[in-house]
Amino acid sequence: MLQVNNISLSYGPRLVLDDVSFTVAPGEKAGLIGVNGAGKSSLLKIVAGIQEADSGKVMLPRSFGYLSQDVAHETSVAEGMTVRDFIFNSIGLDIAIQTYEALTNKIAEEANAAHLPTLLKHFEQAQDALDRLGYYDADARAEQLVAGLKLGGATLDRLVQTLSGGQKTKLALARLLFQAPELLLLDEPTNFLDVEATEWLMDFLAKYSGALLIISHDLDLLDRSINKVLRLNEFTHKLEEYRGNYSSYLTQVGDALA
């Protein structure tokens, strides 16, 4: 569970967040909304540990993934990597494969029988690691993400450094989704997606078994992929919570004003 307790933030004399508290339960999907400048991205960065609050505390689940609005730079570490290796690297699968292949070759070349029991034990551990990381269907899962997000025909064998900026942004999202963390933190994930890729992402997030906290200007996405709205009030700088999707939120606000 994500638990955010009493977060406050100011930029100089300007108050942005005032004693903000909320939870996102396992499997729950929350949309964070508010006018521009209300502090949505700042709050998401605080939750992700990228930015410090003036006060308050955040408790995160064991695994989480964060996608900022400026993610293309994250692929700079992928110099010389293929799309496959960059995606697999997010969970250490690339290293596990290299270890397995190295042990396979070493066992085949080992002339000293006395060394084989130790090598075979390490080989068994390497196999267990591949099983744990989902190696045997990893290519299929990665290809599904690359195809769904429309990376312009990029294959898993293509070098990351040859991709365009837009493709790299989509790849960073694919890499994050491949990790399948307990909690996804997404800041405007559809900014570089066309209509078809956005539709695919909506369906993916709606079916995602983990929890979600998302900022998006795409109201269809907020209708189809969330079951709770968290609104940052630009006047009070506090957070308001509404059950249901974005359309339900509009109805609740309209009823309150009627």
pLDDT digits (tens, 9 = 90+) for 244-254: 999 998 888 87
- What pLDDT was estimated at residue 258? 40
Q: Fold for domain 2-63+181-257?
A: Rossmann fold (3.40.50)
H helix runs in 58-151, sequence order: 83-88, 93-109, 116-132, 138-148
- What pLDDT was estimated at residue 119? 82
Q: Which one has a higher pLDDT value, 219 or 52?
A: 52
Task: Please check the confidence at residue 105 and state whether its pLDDT lies above 50.
Answer: yes
Domain range annotation of the chain: 2-63+181-257
Task: Please check the confidence at residue 110 and state whether its pLDDT lies above 90.
Answer: no
How does residue 140 score in pLDDT terms, banded at 50, 70 and 90?
very high
- What pLDDT was estimated at residue 74? 66
How far apart are alpha carbons 105 and 5 in whole angstroms?
52
Q: Rounded to the nearest 5 degrees, what angle is found at the Cα of 145, between the Cα atoms of 191 and 125?
A: 130
48's CB contacts (< 8 A; 6+ apart) are 64, 66, 185
Each residue's pLDDT tens digit, 200-220: 999 999 999 999 999 998 888
- Average pLDDT of the residues of the chain: 90
How does residue 199 score in pLDDT terms, banded at 50, 70 and 90?
very high
How does residue 142 score in pLDDT terms, banded at 50, 70 and 90?
very high
pTM for this entry = 0.87
- What pLDDT was estimated at residue 148? 93
- Strand 64-67 relative to strand 2-11, pairing: unpaired
For residue 82, what are the β-bridge partners? 159
How does residue 256 score in pLDDT terms, banded at 50, 70 and 90?
low
How does residue 108 score in pLDDT terms, banded at 50, 70 and 90?
confident
The arithmetic mean of pLDDT across residues 186-191, rounded, is 92
Residue whose pair of structure tokens reads 């964060």 in the numeric block? 66
